[in-house]
Structure formats: structure tokens, C-alpha cells
A and B are shown apart, each in its own frame.
Chain A
Amino acid sequence: MKRARVAYAGAIHGAVEVDDQLKLDDGRIVDESEVIWLPPVTPRTVFALGLNYADHAKELSFNAPTEPLVFLKGPNTFVGHMAQTLRPADATYMHYECELAVVIGREARNVKREYAYDYVSGYTVANDYAIRDYLENYYRPNLRVKNRDTCTPIGPWFVDKKDIADPMNLTLRTYVNGKLTQQGSTKDMIFDIPYLIEYLSGFMTLNDGDIILTGTPKGSVDTVVGDVVVTEVEGIGRLVNTIVGDETFNVSKPLQPAEKLI
């Protein structure tokens, strides 16, 4: 089953897909265009993988890592399907990253790879944008590159684990303004899903709702204001995002705090 979290008519709802429409938890049936899509899982601890596809590592002139390159993301960076992502005016190279996102379903500690899928509840799609201008060689990729507000669209759907026969054999595709710019397969991951769960749970506790963004294959290109970027994972979803500029967020004008709270 495909499930979403949406805002509709003044409240936040869970919803399922029924005949290309959304059926809200309260029974209402609405068109997809009538809702605001939220991240399908409320982000708490979110891991992301760097250089987890050999072809992408090569594209960035790195040798494939011998240990997973993991970084963390904060809740500020996530936006849902059909959202806007800000490209700062000074950025010269901002690229998307189409990724399979794995959602953890229960507490996991010291899990062996053969049992790893017992701890997965499902999957979604993420677009892990990076602004390479802000890369620094400390804790690289640093949060200024990877944890910016609005820079991690996720969704539209949470898809139950049982609906995906083999998550390690799914095609990933990215389209910019309708043109195919990235294509790969999850079978080319360097560290596969069971490995990542064994690795992470080997030194820390994973919890229900934690998410692992499993990395992106080669084919990252610069994107600019106005681009519509669609990241798609076979059988899981098609995540649409639009890039906007500083003017949309009034970046040039310093924000003034509202009246002081008492």
C-alpha cells in the first residue's frame, strides 16, 4: 500500500492512494492536486550516504570508499512532494541526487545482515540536493552543503516493504524539465541495505521512523532557478520539486523578528 501525509482543509491527514486519488484517514476522497504533500515519514534521525555508487564516486573523482561514508540530516532540510527548493544566488553548482530512502520500522541494535529487512518498514524517494560551492574539507560533506533548509525533498509515498520484491534491483531516474539526466540501479550500490543496517546498528540504536538515504548513482548535473526536477524510483514514487531563487524567500531583505514574545 502507498501512504502519504498531506495537509488538506485545515488539518494534517494520513492518506492512501485509491484509483489515482487520495483517500484520507477520515474517509474523504480528494484529488492529488488539492493537497499539500508533507514528508511521508516525520524525520527524526536521518542518515545519508555519500559516494555509495561506484560510478558516482568516480564521477566526483573519488575512489570508492571502503567504509560507508555516512552523514546526518536535521529536520529543517526536509520538504514534501511538489515543494520549492531554494538555490542561493551565489551558488554556481547545485545538483540533485535521486535516492532510495529506507525507513526503519522498529528498534534495531547489533542486527546481522541476514535479519536486516526484519527492521525495515518501507521505502520512499528522496532528492538529496547538494550545493558544491559550500563544500569544505571538514566533516565533508558538511551541513552547509547537505542540510540546508528545503534541500531534501522526500516522498510522495511511503511504500510498505512487502510491496517491493527486491529493493536492491530498482531503477532510479531523474528528469530535469522532462529530460532524462540520471539513470541507475540500486543493484549498483557499494554498501547494500542489509550492510548499512548491520553497520549502523553495530554502533548505535536505530529507531522506528529513522530513515537511511542510500546514495545516488552517476548523472548529477547543475540545476537552476525554474527547473522542475523529478526524481523517480521504480515502484516507489515520482518526487517532483521546483527550484526557486533568493527572491522567492526574500533573502536580500534581513528578516526582522516579530514582536517579542512575552
Chain B
Amino acid sequence: MSKAKIRFFGSLHEEEVNVDVVNATIELKGKSYDLGQLSLTSPVSGTIYGTLLNYKGALKALENEVNEPPYNQPPNAPILYIKPVNTINGYNVPIPLPSDVAELEVGAALGIVIGRTATRVSEEQALDYVAGYTVVNDVTVPHSSFFRPAISQKARDGFCPVGPWVIERDAIENPDALELRVYINGELRQENTTANLIRPVKKLIAEVTEFMTLTAGDTLLVGVPEGAPLVKSGDHVCIKIEGVGALENRVVHEHELVAGGAK
């Protein structure tokens, strides 16, 4: 059992619970529940920042393109983007498939949840500023150019499921050695590990807070690995990060969504 924070649908505050990551159960006030029984919303409420091309394989997949126009060279400092509040979504809540799009890219990301104001934090002390970790699906409309900000591809409503919980920092011995797997309709479609990050967790926190303050509740995504699976309406997505949790959502065409409804 690990300690975690969870937020129920309709609740204005987080609950502290004990969770069994492997069996996806939680223990609250002496009672045990399967995750599937619960209506959850995002366990984080601050700003969510994503990091572009932070997996070695993702950068390598671009091959020599990074040395040609318009890029001319590989990224020098962390390239960040924002998943704004309209994108934030919960565990088991549908991901809307916009009517102008046929398929979506699953962005399997470890989310670092910040615990206290972090400005110009050193690598050595970076984890002191971390409250915990969560699983994030950084959903994207597929796009091949990274030259201009991808707002219309990344900032659509419901494009950032987070959860099911924030697992406490100390439950994770080494955030830079976590296996990550994506299952679509139960079939394993992507496998990677945070050992492949170009900027591991501490270094990423240090380089980001060098120019940008992160505050308690903000979430920094470490990046999305290469080979992001594509999903279409009706598909069930499960992102599992070792020791952190499994985030599940179904893709539903936006016309079929029930307003404000969980599940």
C-alpha cells in the first residue's frame, strides 16, 4: 500500500487514501474499493506543462530532420507547452474525439506534481519540491511539424486525462527508472521506460525552474515516448506507469458525449 491523493467527482478537495497500485484498489476510512466503482476527477488543479521531445527515441525518430530547416539544430533547453484548464480530464471520463479528426495520438506521460513553490531549484534539491507523481495522457491531434506551438492539436477540450491519483513522492524510489506501457483495447501497443529521458526528472525540474516558477499543484510532464499509439472513437486506452498507477479512458466521439457526465 502507498499513500496517494485522489479527488472524487464533484468534490472540491482531495482525499488522502492508501492505494494498491498493482490491483488498482484504494482504501478510504477503513473500507476498500475497486477503482472502477469510483467517480474520479483530476487529482491536480494547477497548471500542466508538457515537455517536447524529451525521450531519446522521440528525438532520434526525427533523424536528421532536426538539423535541417526549420529546426536547424536539436533542442537546446527544455521545450515546454501548456495543457490549459479546458483540457484537464479525469480517470475513466471519456476523451472527446473532435468531429474534424479521425484519430488521436496517445501521449503517455509521467506527471511530476509540484509540492511547493519552486524557483531556480538545483538538481540536488529538486525532489524536495515534488509532492508526488501521476499518470497523464497528453492527447494530441497527430501533427508532424514541431515548428509552431500546437495549440489546436493539444489544447482541445478533455485532451488531458490525469490520474487516477497522485502517488506520494517517497513511494517511488527512482522516477528515472519506471516502466511505462500503453494498452489499447487490452492490447499492448507501446512500451518504454523513463530511463530513456534526455533530461531526467531532477535535471528537468532544475532547467525549467531556472526561468519559470512552478507552484504547488502544478504538474510537469516529463515527455511522451516515440511511437505514440493512435486511437479512434470507441477505443479504450490504459496507460500504466510502474509504481504510479494505471490511467484508463475511452475515446468517445464528441457528438455522443453526455455534457458534464462522468463515464
Contact = CB atoms under 8 A, between A and B. Distances in A.
A148 B211 CA distance: 5
B212 to A, nearest CB: 5
A140 B47 CA distance: 20
A75 interface: yes
A71 B73 CA distance: 22
A27 interface: no
Contact of B146 (A139, A206, A255): A139
Interface string A119-143: 0000000000000001011111111
A256 B121 CA distance: 8
B75 to A, nearest CB: 5
B213 A76 contact: yes
Interface in B182-232: 211-215
A136 B81 contact: no
Given A149-B211, A149-B213, A257-B128, A139 B150 contact: yes
Interface string B96-123: 0010000000000000000110011110
A69 B157 contact: no
A204 B148 contact: no
| Majority-rule SS of B interface residues | loop
Contacts of B147: 137-140
B81 A143 contact: yes
B86 A205 contact: yes
A257 B129 contact: yes
Contacts, number: 120
A74 B152 CA distance: 17
Interface in A51-81: 69-77
A74 B49 contact: yes
A147 interface: yes
Given A76-B212, A139-B52, A143-B212, A45 B85 contact: yes
A91 to B, nearest CB: 11
Nearest to A200: B151
A74 B85 contact: no
Interface in B127-170: 128-129, 146-152, 155-157
Contacts of B120: 251, 254-255
Interface of B: 47, 49, 52-53, 70-73, 75-82, 84-87, 98, 115-116, 119-122, 125, 128-129, 146-152, 155-157, 211-215
Given A144-B80, A144-B212, 11 more contacts: A70-B152, A73-B82, A75-B47, A140-B148, A142-B79, A148-B212, A203-B156, A254-B120, A255-B119, A255-B120, A261-B116
Q: Which 7 A-B pairs have the closest CB atoms?
A: A72-B82, A45-B84, A143-B80, A71-B149, A138-B79, A76-B213, A139-B149
